[in-house]
Amino acid sequence: APKSALKRKAEMVAAKAVDNAVSKIQQRLALLGYDPGSRSGQLDEGTRSAILIFEMDHGIPMEGKISKALLGALKTAETKKKN
């Protein structure tokens, strides 16, 4: 059955929210010295590499994706950088 217009719109909104979240992670990594390459909003190879290196440097499980551990470590690293 074809997707309803409402379902298509909901999927587009969700995809845009994910792109925005990834874009913010890319910006945060770059500010901390972990260059993700392009700031495309896509979880691409450069972003995964930057995440993996950040995870390794901060002693959290190396997953190469956005996780609660990554978000917590980013927040901690940003707080330390400000002080």
Classify the phi-psi angles of 69: left when phi > 0, otherwise alpha if psi is within -120 to 50, otherwise beta.
Answer: alpha
Q: Which secondary structure element, helix H or strand E, spans residue 77, and what is its range?
A: helix 68-82
Contact 34, 56 (CB under 8 A): no
The one-character DSSP state at 59 is: T
pLDDT string in tens for the chain (83-residue length):
577 889 989 989 888 888 899 999 999 999 999 999 988 899 999 999 999 999 999 999 999 999 999 999 999 999 998 88
Let me know if 55 is exposed, middle or buried by CB neighbors in 10 A (0-12, 13-18, 19+). Answer: buried
Question: Residue 47 has which token pair?
Answer: 């972003």
Nearest-angstrom CA–CA distance, 73 and 42: 21
pTM for the whole structure? 0.83
Question: Residue 28 has which token pair?
Answer: 């945060």
